[in-house]
Amino acid sequence: MSIQETGTARPAGRPRSEKAEKAIIEATLDLIAEGMGVSELTIEAIASRAGVGKTTIYRRWSNKEDLVVDALATLKAPLPPLAGASVRDDLISLVDAMRQESGGARTRCVMNIALNEADRHPQLMERFLKRSVEPRRQAMRAVIERGVASGELRADLDLDMGMAMITGTMMWHSKWAPAGDLPPDLAERVVDAVLRGMAP
């Protein structure tokens, strides 16, 4: 191992087993989904569930919080490519990504348990939000700002209010719909309903 590879949790060039990493991530999510809060979660329990040694985990993650952040991040859909043809189309793409990642009962359960512990693990939640949520917020803000500049949206639009209306409506549907029962046209319906109040 080179000098550059020492002293980091995940050194570049270290041979990795993708199978082991996937097993560790899945074990972490499974334990949380079964009701084990972040505070109760241990590296020992994760290693046992994943069928690996603790050293295998520590070679990849320096602590439990790093592992949980990475595990939660896998539940978020990648940011979709935005065509830029219209504000409506780009917002539908962004909101549909939310629909896709919120459809599974396991995903909703894990996120609910993790977010309920945000006050006990503020740094963990802050890192997760910065890594997985903030890029989506920035993408949506950029689309709405573009809409204001192009005249597609009202010039006096409150950007934060507009974003809250879109994401809040989608989150409400995700929370109360039966597991896996989010209709494929939900993003389009949400965006069209909100745009009626945001149009010039």
| Helix runs in the chain, H state only | 18-33, 43-50, 54-58, 64-73, 87-102, 105-116, 122-128, 134-150, 159-176, 186-198
| The pLDDT of residue 172 | 85
- Residue 108 in any domain: the answer is yes
- Same domain for 67 and 163: no
The region of weakest confidence among 32-41, 104-113, 141-150, 173-182 is 173-182
The position carrying tokens 């204001």 is: 148
Q: State the Cα–Cα distance between residues 80 and 37, nearest whole angstrom.
A: 31
Q: What percent of the chain has pLDDT over 70?
A: 88
Given a cut of 80, whether residue 14 has pLDDT beyond it is no
CA 196 centroid distance within chain: 28
The region of weakest confidence among 8-17, 72-81, 165-174 is 8-17
- Average pLDDT value for residue range 66-89: 89
For all residues of the chain together, what is the average pLDDT?
A: 85
- Average pLDDT value for residue range 173-188: 77
What is the residue range of 48's domain? 3-73
- Residue 80 in any domain: the answer is no
- Same domain for 178 and 144: yes
| The pLDDT of residue 2 | 40
| The pLDDT of residue 78 | 82
Given a cut of 50, whether residue 5 has pLDDT beyond it is no
**Per-residue confidence band for 92, with pLDDT thresholds at 50, 70 and 90:** very high
- Residue 16 in any domain: the answer is yes
Rg (alpha carbons) of the chain, rounded to whole number: 20
Given a cut of 70, whether residue 180 has pLDDT beyond it is no
Q: What is the CATH number of the domain that holds 186?
A: 1.10.357.10
Burial per residue of 77-97, b for 16 or more beta-carbon CB atoms within 10 angstroms, e otherwise: eeebeeeeeebbebbbbbbbb
pTM listed for this prediction: 0.76
- Average pLDDT value for residue range 153-173: 92
Reading the block at residue 48, the tokens are 């046992």
Given a cut of 70, whether residue 11 has pLDDT beyond it is no
- Contacts of residue 36, Cβ cutoff 8 Å, sequence gap at least 6: 45
| Residue range 96-151, pLDDT digits in tens | 988 888 766 677 778 877 778 778 888 888 888 898 889 999 999 999 999 999 99
- Average pLDDT value for residue range 54-83: 90
Given a cut of 60, whether residue 54 has pLDDT beyond it is yes
Total domains in the fold of the chain: 2
- Same domain for 101 and 31: no
Report which DSSP code applies to 77.
P
Q: CA nearest 33: which of 115, 116, 108?
A: 108
Among 73, 96, 124, the domain-final residue is: 73
- Contacts of residue 174, Cβ cutoff 8 Å, sequence gap at least 6: 98, 99, 102, 103, 108, 182
- Same domain for 97 and 25: no
- Residue 116 in any domain: the answer is yes
- Residue 81 in any domain: the answer is no
- Same domain for 129 and 64: no
Residue 144 burial by CB count (10 A; 0-12/13-18/19+): exposed, middle or buried?
buried
**Cα angle for residues 193, 197, 200 (degrees, 5° grid):** 125
The region of weakest confidence among 10-24, 55-69, 144-158, 164-178 is 10-24
